[in-house]
Each structure stands twice: as structure tokens, then as C-alpha cells.
Amino acid sequence: MSDIARQAQVSEATVSRVINDRPGVSPETRQAVLTALDVLGYERPERLRKRSAGLVGLIVPELDNPIFPAFAQVIESTLAQEGFTPVLCTQSPGGVTEDEYVEMMLDRQVSGIVFVSSLSADTAADPSRYRRLIERPLPIVLVNGYAETIEAPFVSCDDRLAGDLAVSHLVALGHQRIGMISGPNRFINTQRKLAGYRAALDREGLDDFVALTLFGVEGGEVAADRLIEQGVTGIVCGSDLMALGAIRAARKRGLAVPRDVSVIGFDDSPLIAFTDPPLTTLRQPVASMAVAAVRCLVDEINGHGAPHSEYLFRPELVVRESTAIAPSRRSVPVG
């Protein structure tokens, strides 16, 4: 009981009430205790087993990018509130692949799977892996991984709008040479951000400066260095981690952010407000997206049939201290 109480972050008395099916415990707390039982490998008492709606797989990329744990946390808690036990699968380079995790989930007879930034987002990957799941039939929902050939519910952040909002912010600050760095162009999220970025530049009559690279801090640093060499004063980044790499690249050249170069990230990952400088970024509405994904999956599991379309969520521009008026637009002291 002590282990279960610690896992569920409740008292042992509360665990006792749940196990003995006594009143006086909120549905959320009761579900947290039942989930702790499952996670720790304890068998539920017979009278409580019927309360579990089953296992649901949650497959996310590596947890190095803090936006993925943020999604996982909300999805897991929302699934638990719906009576499902989430099974979290995280990928890492050279580790278990997405397809291998899916086979594990099928062996466990999961009721459905939520994919976050999965291979469906990679236009070079074969989408038939998802069609086979749907044909089983197994309910699936895909977060930030839209593919028009897959008949399933999709929940996505509006990446086109994100690219447009970022450029509009920098233009308002007087920037005329605005670059963009992001991951490889085969990813639908990159394609959409680029489309929004270029549409905004076309509207303003400005040239584009694009450097695509690997996602992450190191990729962001390399790509930003190339753009700074071309004289850009504002950089739009495909993720917050890439933005941190861009800041590093500027500083290695003896430039200051935002005095010499303004940098905008994407995600608004946890703790990103506390970087040096605090990062201006496009915030993904993680909580709203995660809850919508679970609602779609539960509807599919219950046979209600969630619409097989894409739900687009609006990003929010969060202005902090990594963007400022363009160097050429600042007044120069006389004398």
C-alpha cells in the first residue's frame, strides 16, 4: 500500500478506501490509485477489474525534446480519467522502433493507440502501416502527423499559421532579412511551416532565406550560422531546441540576441521561458490538443466514430526577450 500511495501521490488510507471499494474518494483520485496498481504490476481486486476500460498505447518520439513529455503527461492523465490505463512507449535512436512498439501493443490487446509526431508525419514513410491497424479494426489517433491517405482522426497545431505569425512579428519589428531553420523537408510539419513563412514574406515583398537541417540544438546551430553569414537579422525556428542552437551560433560570432539577431522558437516547451534570453516562441496548445486526441480515441473505441479529419489548433505567439527592433531600424546616437 505504501508503494501504491507513493506512486499515486495519495495517502495509504485513500489507497485502502479504493482497494476496498469504499465511498469518500473522488473519481480522479480513485482512477489515479487504480492506474498506480497497474503501473506497479499489482493485480486489481476482482470487484474493481470491471472498472478498467482497457489499455491504450501512447507512442511518442524521444523525450529529449520537452514538448513530447508535455504531450505524454496530459494524454496519460486524460486517458486515466476516462478509465483507460495508458502504456507509454518512447523511442530513442537505435532503440525500439515505432513498428516494434505497435507489435508489442497488439500483443497486449490494447483498445487503441495514440501516436504523437509519428512516422505518418514523414512523407517518405509508408502510410500502409496505419491503414493495416485501421483495417483490424484498431482505433488510432495521430497528433501532429497528418497524412491525407490515412482515414483516421488527426489533431495538429496549425504550422502554416505559426510560420506566418513569426514572420509578421519580425516584420513589425523592422526586420527585412528573415531566415527560417527547420528539420528535413520530407516532414509535413516542416513543409507547412515553410509554406506559412514564405506566404508571409511574399505578402511583404521580402526574400526568403531557408536552411533545413536535423532537428535539435546542434542542427539549429549549424543552420543558423549559415543564415547569419547571409546577413539575416531575424530567424524563425522549427522548434525551441533549434532556437537555442541559433542563439548559440549568434554568440559564437560575437553577436547578441536580440540586439543583433532576433530568434523565434516553436512549441513553448516547459522551462523555455527561463532561458537566456527568455525565448519568444509559438506556443502549441498542448492541453487542448491532448484532450481532443483522447476524446477522439474514446469515441472511436466506443463505436461513436470520431470524424476522420484533421482538427487544427491555433498556435499563440508568446513574445519574450529574444526578439527586438531590427538593428538597421534603431536610432543611432549622434556625437
Give the pLDDT of residue 30.
84
Looking at the fold, whether 235 and 198 belong to one and the same domain comes out as yes
Distance, CA of 282 to chain centre: 12
Residue 152 reports pLDDT greater than 70: yes
Give the pLDDT of residue 47.
66
Give the pLDDT of residue 270.
85
Q: Which residues pair with 142 in a beta bridge?
A: 115, 154
Mean pLDDT of 137-157: 96
Residue 325: which domain range? 159-284+317-329
Give the pLDDT of residue 101.
95
What is the Cα–Cα distance from 16 to 1, expressed in whole angstroms? 8
DSSP state of 52: -
Residue 91 reports pLDDT greater than 80: yes
> Which CATH number characterizes residue 41's domain?
3.40.50.2300
pLDDT in tens, 299-315: 999 888 888 999 999 99
State how many domains the chain has. 2
Domain assignment of residue 180, yes or no? yes
Residue 21 reports pLDDT greater than 80: no
Mean pLDDT of 75-83: 91
pTM: predicted TM-score of the whole model, two decimal places: 0.82
Higher-confidence position of 249 and 4: 249
Domain assignment of residue 91, yes or no? yes
